[in-house]
Amino acid sequence: MIITIVIEQYGVTTNGISMTAKQLAKVLLKHGHEVRILCGKGTGSPEKIYQTGVNKTPVLYQICQSQGMLLARRNQKVIAEACYGADVVHMLMPSSLCKAAKVYCDANGIPTTAAFHLQPENITSTMHEGKIKYVNDKVYARFRRFYDQFDEIHCPSQMIADQLKAHGYRSEIHVISNGVSSLFQHRTVARPQQYNGQFIILMVGRLSVEKRQDLIVEAVKESKYEKEIQIILAGQGPWKAHIELLAKPLTNPIVIRYMKQDELLKVINYADLYVHASDAEIEAISCMEAFTCGLVPVISDSPLTATKQFALNEHDLFKNGDSHSLRQQIDYWIEHPEEKKVLSQQYIKYAEQFSADSCVKQLEEMLINQASKSKVR
């Protein structure tokens, strides 16, 4: 089949949706499909890239840049080139580019599907309104006008699927994990000398309000093992300066920086504990990548995060937004290294079901099904 994927930016590792698209394209190519990428800006091969250019509207552009994102311009000529002759077009966001592509596809009888990867709370938290239900409901309603145009929607978790149903979405929903790349495996890695004797806590992802990296800093401050703990935050974002200020009193200076995949794989494999503190999360591939390598996670039990579904132990969860609860779990795992070692092996086994190849195969079936239904009509 010829499959066109529509996304704002492609081929960058600082954006979770972009990384998901890259992984999807990689497996689809492996399965023998021709893959086209319609985006504002992107790089890739052997997938074919069609670029419409970046929307640089003042203020909006700066806000998106601070979050490691960009928005695409509409370009009807490029949209036509990317979608013409496709068996199915798969859209990853309710963006201006995806809306324009949907109009073109409908006018030309091209089958379409969509994925729900952008949680409203990711937007409203930037405006410090992430916990206001009315505001989030308005965003869900706005998104629904786009998603109700599709017969089938991909959701990475049951949590977000339940949210769509609760907000009146009418399309058929397919719950399929985004999956974890085969590159993420447990391996023996030498720990840098400067970290010898320290208990390393890792969190990966964008530094922003809803991700709650502040809870990790506060929990470590309270810990009786504070002098032995090293926090590493792999990521970038607008909250970096705030987190650095909070972390100044720590004995071991906090490490915050963007890491390329090779370095990240090493850090995951020599870290001692993964903390996922986010208030809102559709799935959290970063956490899945960590426990796939055998790194035991401690996860927020927020009702708006699907990540809590991965907890295999009562000490792998902490009370949402509560640094005291997080501190208790961190201290527990410092004090129970043998139990953590056993649990690490359980996570490696548990993660086998989330391989990217297996998950994309399920999504592939959805795409083929939609393409075939359209041909029948």
Residue 64: predicted pLDDT: 64
Question: Which residue type does 361 have?
Answer: K
Per-residue pLDDT at 61: 57
The answer to whether residue 68 scores a pLDDT higher than 70 is: no
Q: Across residues 162-183, what is the average pLDDT?
A: 94
Pair 121, 136: CB distance under 8 Å: yes
Using CA atoms, how far apart are residues 81 and 366, in angstroms rounded to an integer?
24
Q: How far apart are CA 225 and CA 212, in angstroms?
A: 21
Question: For 316-344, what is the mean pLDDT?
Answer: 98
pLDDT tens-digit readout, 9-20:
998 776 778 888
In the sheet with 88-91, reading across from the earlier edge strand, the strands are 48-51, 34-39, 2-6, 88-91, 112-115, 152-155, 172-175
pLDDT at 377 over 50: no
Q: In the prediction, which pLDDT does 113 show?
A: 97
3-class secondary structure for 334-353? Answer: HHCHHHHHHHHHHHHHHHHH
CB 120 within 8 Å of CB 334? no
The distance in angstroms from the start CA to the end CA of the chain is 18
pLDDT at 63: 63
Which pLDDT score is estimated for 376? 40
Give the lowest-confidence range in 8-17, 76-85, 267-276, 305-314. Answer: 8-17
* Helix 96-107 vs helix 76-83: crossing angle, to nearest 10: 60
